[in-house]
Amino acid sequence: MSDIYQHFRKDEQPFVDQVLGWKKIALDQYRMKLTDFLDPREQFITESVIQHGEELGIMFFGGYEGAERKRALIYPDYLEPSIQDVELSYFQVNYAKKFISLEHPKLLGSLIGTGLKRQKFGDLLFSEEDVQFICTSDVADFVRAQLTHVGRAAVSLEEITQAEIKPVIMKTDIKEDTISSLRLDAVCAAVSRQSRQKAQLLVKNGLVKVNWKVTEDPSFTIGEGDQLSVRGFGRFSLKTIDGKTKKDKFKVTFELLT
């Protein structure tokens, strides 16, 4: 069992243990195990750990095709889960659009300000016309009662159907590259097309986020599924690590999100 940890970072071991616990529930109790929302890296870890065993299936769904944050449903392979089993609720945020505008950080801060964990909320969707978000169904009534303001703006929530969700279609650009290391500074140098030295400064100055968290350690190891945000250069995802070249460099595939 301990061999599984070698595939992940040390700081990810508690999450690996959590996934192993979900796996045990599905196997021992012969039932589905539904998680809260997972970010792309957590989805990668969950799928990797579940695939180490047999007799289990896994399904991810975040409310619409292309969702970034998704819930995982782990189930005995003789069951046939449906999207309804993922138990999502969808909301539109109504406010005085003529006079104010809502921003992603403020909405997220207000949702977390209700006392709920980030994991209870999926993607926050901002289109030209609407502001919408997705949450787990078990907290939907609580969120509707508690969220009356975003910042100083008065808001009301209207529950909508999945069909009414208006996903923001992000343009993506796939790029294959080779890098000398999976260290954060080396990856940042590759995606920003700068020297390793300049990339290190970006990291040390707090201008780089990994999975939405500022990471100031240039030696931090990047893995498949990690999302990087480099201020001034955009957002990137390390989609795959495709082995090594004859010169011992890593062959990787990046996805640029715009």
Q: What is the pLDDT of residues 20-35, one digit of tens each?
A: 999 999 999 999 999 9
Exposed/middle/buried for residue 143 (C-beta within 10 Å: 0-12, 13-18, 19+): buried
Of 164, 199, 219, at which residue does a domain stop? 164
Neighbours of 54 (CB within 10 A): 7
- The mean of the pLDDT values for the chain is 92
Question: If you search the block for the tokens 């919408």, which residue do you land on?
Answer: 132
Place of tokens 């071991």: 13
Q: Do 29 and 68 fall within a single domain?
A: yes
| Spatial separation of the C-alpha atoms in residues 232 and 67, rounded to whole Å | 24
Enclosing domain of residue 147: 88-164
**Longest CA–CA separation in the chain, Å:** 60
Task: From 56, 85, 114, give the residue that closes a domain.
Answer: 85
97 and 141 inside one domain? yes
Q: How far is Cα 39 from Cα 132, in angstroms, rounded to an integer? A: 18
pLDDT (average), residues 78-102: 93
Which residue is associated with the tokens 């260290």?
Answer: 183
CATH number, domain with residue 206:
3.10.290.10
Tell me the C-alpha distance between 227 and 238, whole Å. 7
| Cα dihedral value 17, 13, 209, 181, nearest 10 | -140
Per-residue pLDDT of 188-223, as tens digits, reads 999 999 999 999 999 999 999 998 889 999 999 999
Alpha helices in the chain (DSSP H): 13-28, 40-51, 104-112, 140-146, 184-192, 196-204
The pLDDT value recorded for residue 7 is 83
pLDDT in tens, 126-162: 988 899 999 999 999 999 999 999 988 999 999 999 9
- If asked whether residues 15 and 71 sit together in one domain, one would say yes
Q: For the chain, what percent of residues have pLDDT higher than 70?
A: 97
Q: Are residues 143 and 159 in the same domain?
A: yes
67/6 same-domain check: yes
Look up residue 190 and give its amino acid: A
Instruction: Tell whether 65 and 116 lie within a shared domain.
Output: no
Looking at the fold, whether 177 and 249 belong to one and the same domain comes out as: yes
Residues 9 and 81 reside in one and the same domain: yes
Residues 22 and 66 in one domain: yes
Number of domain units in the chain: 3
pLDDT value at position 236?
A: 92
Query: Are 208 and 180 contained in the same domain?
Result: yes
pLDDT at residue number 99: 84
Q: Would you say residue 104 has pLDDT above 70?
A: yes
Reading phi first (left if > 0) and then psi (alpha if -120 to 50, else beta), residue 196 is in alpha
pLDDT band at residue 53 under the 50/70/90 scheme: low
pTM as predicted = 0.82
Do 112 and 77 fall within a single domain?
no
